[in-house]
Structure 1
Protein backbone atom coordinates (compact mmCIF):
# COMPACT_ATOMS: atom_id res chain seq x y z
CA UNK A 1 0.00 0.00 0.00
CA UNK A 2 2.82 2.42 0.75
CA UNK A 3 4.35 2.00 -2.69
CA UNK A 4 1.00 2.81 -4.32
CA UNK A 5 0.68 6.01 -2.27
CA UNK A 6 4.24 6.93 -3.19
CA UNK A 7 3.58 6.33 -6.89
CA UNK A 8 0.38 8.41 -6.78
CA UNK A 9 2.18 11.21 -4.95
CA UNK A 10 4.96 11.26 -7.54
CA UNK A 11 2.42 11.15 -10.37
CA UNK A 12 0.57 14.13 -8.88
CA UNK A 13 3.81 16.13 -8.56
CA UNK A 14 4.77 15.27 -12.12
CA UNK A 15 1.35 16.38 -13.42
CA UNK A 16 1.64 19.69 -11.54
CA UNK A 17 4.96 20.37 -13.23
CA UNK A 18 3.63 19.43 -16.67
CA UNK A 19 0.47 21.53 -16.34
CA UNK A 20 2.21 24.61 -14.90
CA UNK A 21 1.30 27.82 -16.75
CA UNK A 22 1.65 31.46 -15.83
CA UNK A 23 -1.51 33.61 -15.77
CA UNK A 24 -2.43 35.44 -18.99
CA UNK A 25 -1.27 38.84 -17.70
CA UNK A 26 2.31 37.57 -17.86
CA UNK A 27 2.10 37.62 -21.68
CA UNK A 28 2.20 41.42 -21.62
CA UNK A 29 5.05 41.37 -19.12
CA UNK A 30 7.01 38.99 -21.36
CA UNK A 31 6.37 41.14 -24.45
CA UNK A 32 7.50 44.25 -22.55
CA UNK A 33 10.70 42.52 -21.42
CA UNK A 34 11.44 41.34 -24.98
CA UNK A 35 10.80 44.77 -26.52
CA UNK A 36 12.85 46.54 -23.86
CA UNK A 37 15.72 44.07 -24.31
CA UNK A 38 15.76 44.51 -28.09
CA UNK A 39 15.66 48.31 -27.81
CA UNK A 40 18.51 48.24 -25.30
CA UNK A 41 20.51 45.94 -27.61
CA UNK A 42 20.22 48.54 -30.37
CA UNK A 43 21.16 51.33 -27.95
CA UNK A 44 24.18 49.33 -26.81
CA UNK A 45 25.26 48.57 -30.37
CA UNK A 46 24.96 52.08 -31.82
CA UNK A 47 25.36 54.52 -28.96
CA UNK A 48 27.49 53.03 -26.20
CA UNK A 49 31.23 52.94 -26.52
CA UNK A 50 33.74 51.00 -24.53
CA UNK A 51 33.65 47.59 -22.95
CA UNK A 52 30.00 46.59 -22.55
CA UNK A 53 30.26 42.81 -22.89
CA UNK A 54 28.54 42.37 -19.51
CA UNK A 55 25.59 44.43 -20.76
CA UNK A 56 25.36 42.30 -23.92
CA UNK A 57 25.22 39.12 -21.82
CA UNK A 58 22.62 40.63 -19.48
CA UNK A 59 20.41 41.75 -22.36
CA UNK A 60 20.64 38.35 -24.03
CA UNK A 61 19.56 36.62 -20.81
CA UNK A 62 16.66 39.05 -20.25
CA UNK A 63 15.52 38.51 -23.85
CA UNK A 64 15.44 34.75 -23.26
CA UNK A 65 13.58 35.19 -19.95
CA UNK A 66 11.00 37.44 -21.65
CA UNK A 67 10.42 34.92 -24.43
CA UNK A 68 10.17 32.09 -21.89
CA UNK A 69 7.54 34.06 -19.95
CA UNK A 70 5.61 34.58 -23.19
CA UNK A 71 5.89 30.89 -23.98
CA UNK A 72 4.65 29.77 -20.57
CA UNK A 73 1.76 32.20 -20.13
CA UNK A 74 -1.81 31.01 -20.61
CA UNK A 75 -4.14 32.23 -23.31
CA UNK A 76 -7.31 34.10 -22.42
CA UNK A 77 -9.23 30.94 -23.24
CA UNK A 78 -7.20 27.89 -22.26
CA UNK A 79 -8.79 24.59 -23.25
CA UNK A 80 -7.68 21.10 -24.25
CA UNK A 81 -7.06 22.20 -27.84
CA UNK A 82 -4.69 25.03 -26.89
CA UNK A 83 -2.86 22.73 -24.48
CA UNK A 84 -2.43 20.17 -27.27
CA UNK A 85 -1.27 22.85 -29.72
CA UNK A 86 1.22 24.16 -27.17
CA UNK A 87 2.64 20.66 -26.73
CA UNK A 88 2.90 20.20 -30.49
CA UNK A 89 4.70 23.53 -30.85
CA UNK A 90 7.21 22.55 -28.13
CA UNK A 91 7.86 19.25 -29.94
CA UNK A 92 8.36 20.98 -33.29
CA UNK A 93 10.63 23.60 -31.70
CA UNK A 94 12.76 20.91 -30.10
CA UNK A 95 13.15 18.91 -33.31
CA UNK A 96 13.86 21.97 -35.47
CA UNK A 97 16.25 23.32 -32.82
CA UNK A 98 18.27 20.11 -32.74
CA UNK A 99 18.47 20.02 -36.54
CA UNK A 100 19.49 23.70 -36.55
CA UNK A 101 22.20 23.10 -33.94
CA UNK A 102 23.59 20.18 -35.94
CA UNK A 103 23.53 21.74 -39.41
CA UNK A 104 24.14 25.47 -38.90
CA UNK A 105 27.85 25.28 -37.89
CA UNK A 106 28.63 23.46 -41.14
CA UNK A 107 26.64 25.98 -43.16
CA UNK A 108 28.50 28.88 -41.52
CA UNK A 109 31.81 27.10 -42.13
CA UNK A 110 31.01 26.51 -45.80
CA UNK A 111 29.77 30.05 -46.41
CA UNK A 112 32.76 31.64 -44.66
CA UNK A 113 35.16 29.51 -46.72
CA UNK A 114 33.30 30.34 -49.94
CA UNK A 115 33.25 34.09 -49.23
CA UNK A 116 36.71 34.47 -47.72
CA UNK A 117 39.76 32.87 -49.25
CA UNK A 118 41.21 31.93 -45.85
CA UNK A 119 37.90 31.09 -44.29
CA UNK A 120 37.14 30.60 -40.64
CA UNK A 121 37.64 27.60 -38.46
CA UNK A 122 34.66 25.46 -37.49
CA UNK A 123 32.81 26.82 -34.46
CA UNK A 124 29.85 25.59 -32.48
CA UNK A 125 26.73 27.64 -31.90
CA UNK A 126 26.37 29.38 -28.58
CA UNK A 127 23.65 28.55 -26.10
CA UNK A 128 21.98 31.93 -26.64
CA UNK A 129 21.62 31.38 -30.38
CA UNK A 130 20.12 27.90 -30.02
CA UNK A 131 17.74 28.86 -27.20
CA UNK A 132 16.61 32.02 -28.97
CA UNK A 133 15.94 30.04 -32.15
CA UNK A 134 13.97 27.35 -30.28
CA UNK A 135 11.84 29.89 -28.39
CA UNK A 136 11.13 31.82 -31.59
CA UNK A 137 10.11 28.62 -33.38
CA UNK A 138 7.88 27.56 -30.47
CA UNK A 139 6.10 30.92 -30.29
CA UNK A 140 5.65 31.12 -34.09
CA UNK A 141 4.35 27.58 -34.43
CA UNK A 142 2.02 27.90 -31.46
CA UNK A 143 0.42 31.09 -32.74
CA UNK A 144 0.18 29.72 -36.29
CA UNK A 145 -1.35 26.43 -35.11
CA UNK A 146 -3.80 28.39 -32.97
CA UNK A 147 -4.78 30.60 -35.88
CA UNK A 148 -5.35 27.69 -38.31
CA UNK A 149 -7.15 25.29 -35.95
Structure 2
Protein backbone atom coordinates (compact mmCIF):
# COMPACT_ATOMS: atom_id res chain seq x y z
CA UNK A 1 0.00 0.00 0.00
CA UNK A 2 1.62 3.23 -1.09
CA UNK A 3 1.25 6.67 0.49
CA UNK A 4 -1.30 7.94 -2.05
CA UNK A 5 -3.67 5.00 -1.58
CA UNK A 6 -3.30 5.28 2.20
CA UNK A 7 -4.16 8.99 2.10
CA UNK A 8 -7.10 8.32 -0.19
CA UNK A 9 -8.40 5.66 2.21
CA UNK A 10 -8.10 8.09 5.13
CA UNK A 11 -9.86 10.84 3.19
CA UNK A 12 -12.73 8.50 2.36
CA UNK A 13 -13.12 7.45 6.00
CA UNK A 14 -13.23 11.10 7.08
CA UNK A 15 -15.86 11.84 4.43
CA UNK A 16 -17.99 8.95 5.73
CA UNK A 17 -17.80 10.35 9.25
CA UNK A 18 -19.17 13.70 8.08
CA UNK A 19 -22.41 12.00 7.04
CA UNK A 20 -23.14 11.11 10.66
CA UNK A 21 -22.77 14.64 11.99
CA UNK A 22 -25.48 17.17 12.67
CA UNK A 23 -25.26 20.81 11.57
CA UNK A 24 -23.63 23.28 13.98
CA UNK A 25 -26.94 24.78 15.15
CA UNK A 26 -27.78 21.48 16.86
CA UNK A 27 -25.00 22.12 19.39
CA UNK A 28 -27.10 24.92 20.91
CA UNK A 29 -30.17 22.67 20.89
CA UNK A 30 -28.18 19.98 22.72
CA UNK A 31 -27.02 22.46 25.34
CA UNK A 32 -30.62 23.66 25.88
CA UNK A 33 -31.76 20.03 26.31
CA UNK A 34 -28.98 19.44 28.86
CA UNK A 35 -29.85 22.58 30.85
CA UNK A 36 -33.60 21.82 30.86
CA UNK A 37 -32.92 18.22 31.89
CA UNK A 38 -30.56 19.29 34.70
CA UNK A 39 -33.12 21.79 36.02
CA UNK A 40 -35.86 19.15 35.86
CA UNK A 41 -33.58 16.63 37.59
CA UNK A 42 -32.80 18.97 40.51
CA UNK A 43 -36.38 20.25 40.85
CA UNK A 44 -37.55 16.65 40.92
CA UNK A 45 -34.94 15.67 43.48
CA UNK A 46 -35.76 18.46 45.92
CA UNK A 47 -39.54 18.80 45.54
CA UNK A 48 -41.48 16.48 43.24
CA UNK A 49 -39.71 13.11 43.64
CA UNK A 50 -41.38 11.45 40.66
CA UNK A 51 -39.52 8.49 39.16
CA UNK A 52 -40.76 9.26 35.63
CA UNK A 53 -39.43 12.81 35.76
CA UNK A 54 -36.12 11.51 37.11
CA UNK A 55 -35.72 9.00 34.28
CA UNK A 56 -36.80 11.50 31.64
CA UNK A 57 -34.30 14.06 32.94
CA UNK A 58 -31.47 11.53 33.12
CA UNK A 59 -32.00 10.36 29.56
CA UNK A 60 -32.56 13.94 28.42
CA UNK A 61 -29.05 14.72 29.64
CA UNK A 62 -27.74 11.80 27.58
CA UNK A 63 -29.60 12.91 24.46
CA UNK A 64 -28.31 16.46 24.88
CA UNK A 65 -24.72 15.24 25.32
CA UNK A 66 -25.06 13.03 22.25
CA UNK A 67 -26.38 15.92 20.15
CA UNK A 68 -23.50 18.16 21.29
CA UNK A 69 -21.03 15.35 20.63
CA UNK A 70 -22.07 14.72 17.03
CA UNK A 71 -22.70 18.32 16.01
CA UNK A 72 -20.28 19.92 13.59
CA UNK A 73 -18.13 22.90 14.50
CA UNK A 74 -18.51 26.20 12.67
CA UNK A 75 -15.25 25.46 10.85
CA UNK A 76 -14.93 21.73 10.35
CA UNK A 77 -11.42 21.03 9.05
CA UNK A 78 -8.90 18.19 9.33
CA UNK A 79 -7.61 19.43 12.69
CA UNK A 80 -11.10 19.43 14.22
CA UNK A 81 -11.77 15.97 12.80
CA UNK A 82 -8.50 14.70 14.25
CA UNK A 83 -9.24 16.26 17.63
CA UNK A 84 -12.72 14.74 17.58
CA UNK A 85 -11.27 11.28 16.93
CA UNK A 86 -8.71 11.76 19.71
CA UNK A 87 -11.46 12.76 22.11
CA UNK A 88 -13.56 9.69 21.24
CA UNK A 89 -10.55 7.44 21.78
CA UNK A 90 -9.69 9.12 25.08
CA UNK A 91 -13.33 8.98 26.22
CA UNK A 92 -13.53 5.25 25.53
CA UNK A 93 -10.32 4.46 27.42
CA UNK A 94 -11.15 6.82 30.31
CA UNK A 95 -14.73 5.50 30.43
CA UNK A 96 -13.57 1.91 30.79
CA UNK A 97 -11.03 2.81 33.48
CA UNK A 98 -13.47 5.00 35.42
CA UNK A 99 -16.20 2.36 35.19
CA UNK A 100 -13.87 -0.36 36.45
CA UNK A 101 -12.48 1.72 39.29
CA UNK A 102 -15.41 3.67 40.65
CA UNK A 103 -18.25 1.45 41.75
CA UNK A 104 -17.09 -2.14 42.05
CA UNK A 105 -13.54 -1.62 43.27
CA UNK A 106 -14.34 1.18 45.72
CA UNK A 107 -17.26 -0.78 47.21
CA UNK A 108 -15.08 -3.87 47.55
CA UNK A 109 -12.27 -1.90 49.25
CA UNK A 110 -14.72 -0.13 51.59
CA UNK A 111 -16.25 -3.45 52.63
CA UNK A 112 -12.79 -4.94 53.15
CA UNK A 113 -11.58 -1.98 55.27
CA UNK A 114 -14.71 -1.88 57.39
CA UNK A 115 -14.47 -5.68 57.75
CA UNK A 116 -18.08 -6.14 56.85
CA UNK A 117 -19.18 -9.32 55.21
CA UNK A 118 -17.88 -9.25 51.66
CA UNK A 119 -20.61 -8.32 49.24
CA UNK A 120 -20.61 -9.12 45.56
CA UNK A 121 -19.38 -6.54 43.12
CA UNK A 122 -22.09 -4.08 42.20
CA UNK A 123 -22.43 -3.30 38.53
CA UNK A 124 -22.57 0.14 37.00
CA UNK A 125 -25.78 1.04 35.21
CA UNK A 126 -26.17 1.92 31.55
CA UNK A 127 -26.88 5.57 32.29
CA UNK A 128 -23.66 5.98 34.29
CA UNK A 129 -21.51 4.39 31.58
CA UNK A 130 -23.05 6.43 28.77
CA UNK A 131 -22.84 9.62 30.84
CA UNK A 132 -19.16 9.01 31.53
CA UNK A 133 -18.37 8.32 27.87
CA UNK A 134 -20.29 11.28 26.45
CA UNK A 135 -19.29 13.83 29.08
CA UNK A 136 -15.59 12.89 28.90
CA UNK A 137 -15.70 13.09 25.09
CA UNK A 138 -17.41 16.49 25.01
CA UNK A 139 -15.21 18.05 27.69
CA UNK A 140 -11.96 16.58 26.34
CA UNK A 141 -12.83 17.70 22.79
CA UNK A 142 -13.44 21.25 24.03
CA UNK A 143 -10.16 21.09 25.97
CA UNK A 144 -8.24 19.93 22.87
CA UNK A 145 -9.80 22.67 20.73
CA UNK A 146 -8.73 25.36 23.18
CA UNK A 147 -5.22 23.94 23.51
CA UNK A 148 -4.75 23.96 19.72
CA UNK A 149 -5.86 27.56 19.11
Which TM bucket (shorter chain)? 0.7 to 0.9
The equivalences for 1:120-135 within 5 A come to 121-135=120-134
Change (3 A) 1:112 1:15: same
Alignment correspondent of 2:55:
57
Unpaired segments ≥5 residues, structure 1: 1-11
Deviating runs (4+, > 6 A) in structure 1? none
Judge conservation of contact 1:93–1:138 (CA < 8 Å) in 2: yes
Of 66, 70, 78, 2:76 maps to: 78
Say which SS state the counterpart of residue 23 (structure 1) adopts.
Answer: coil
Deviation readout 1:30-78 (Å, 9 max, x if unpaired): 00000000000000000114xx222211111111000000001111111
Residues 34-113 of structure 1 correspond to what in structure 2 (within 5 A)?
Answer: 34-49=34-49, 52-104=50-102, 105-111=104-110
Q: TM-score, normalised by structure 1?
A: 0.80
| CA distance 1:135–1:45, shift in 2 (3 Å) | same
Q: Which runs of 5+ in 2 are unaligned?
A: 1-11
SS in 1 for 2:48: coil
Change (3 A) 1:15 1:82: closer
**What RMSD over aligned residues (CA atoms) do the two structures have, in Å?**
2.1
Q: TM-score, normalised by structure 2?
A: 0.80
Deviations 1:89-133 (A, max 9, x none): 000000111112222221233235546856764201001111101
